[in-house]
Amino acid sequence: MNPKRSLFFSSLVSPMGALLYLLLLSFFFVSSLVPTSQAVAPGTNANATRRRAPVHHDLSLDFYSKTCPQVDQIISSVTAARYRDSPTSGPATIRLFFHDCFVEGCDASILIAPTPGSTNKVEREMEENKNLAAEAFDTVNMAKAAVENKCPGVVSCADVLAIAARDFVHLAGGPYYTVKKGRKDSKASLPKKL
């Protein structure tokens, strides 16, 4: 067998190759969540043929430029340490971001913890989410605590999760991309929408 070819195939089954494969799949899925225009047949009511998207405010690259300009660096310091000390936190956080964005958008609703003694389930307790790794939740909690230490009450958990996922993609050898910020945290978890 060709040595170059065997090196390629061995990299696919290595842990790093598997991680990169997972990262690319996650990236393409999250990218597919961006709305595209839909054609409407002439003479039909566009509102009757399309679902209306919820009203959202615009995200921007400079959302925290005045209130927490170092947010990316703060989160990057946490993700770099986690990637070094607990490599599984990378794919776990990317997967957590994927699961968060799946229901009602990227709103950190997956992070809402169950209320002790309550019989109401939250998203993270549903069957589809039961095996989400604790390392992902730990990473987001650590990053959020670091951000709160410098900029209390400013940065949303949804933005922390989005930035952390981007950092792990980059740390694993994927592209570095800018993250638009300004996501609002959900006040409710919607497990029945899974």
pTM: 0.70
Q: Please compute the mean of the pLDDT values over residues 36-44 and round it to a whole number.
A: 40
Residue 74, pLDDT > 60, answer: yes
Question: Annotated binding residues, as ranges?
Answer: 100, 103, 105, 107, 109, 123
Catalytic residue among 56, 57, 99, 170: 99
**In 3D, which of 110, 106, 122, 111 has the Cα closest to residue 184?**
106
Confidence bin at 42 (pLDDT 50/70/90) = very low
**In 3D, which of 129, 106, 137, 123 has the Cα closest to residue 30?**
106
- Residue-wise pLDDT for 10-31, tens only, equals 444 555 555 555 554 454 444 4
Residue that wins the pLDDT comparison between 103 and 149: 149
What is the rounded CA–CA span in Å between residue 187 and residue 133? 23
Residue 164, pLDDT > 60, answer: yes
Residues 177, 166: contact at Cβ < 8 Å?
A: yes
Confidence bin at 38 (pLDDT 50/70/90) = very low
57 tagged catalytic = no
Domain boundaries in the chain? Answer: 58-193
CATH number of 58-193: 1.10.520.10
Give the HSE-up count for residue 71: Cα atoms under 13 Å, Cβ half-sphere. 30
Question: Annotated binding residues for Ca(2+), as ranges?
Answer: 100, 103, 105, 107, 109, 123
- Residue-wise pLDDT for 106-162, tens only, equals 999 888 888 888 777 787 888 888 889 999 999 999 999 999 999 999 999 999 999
At 159, is the secondary structure helix, strand, or coil? helix
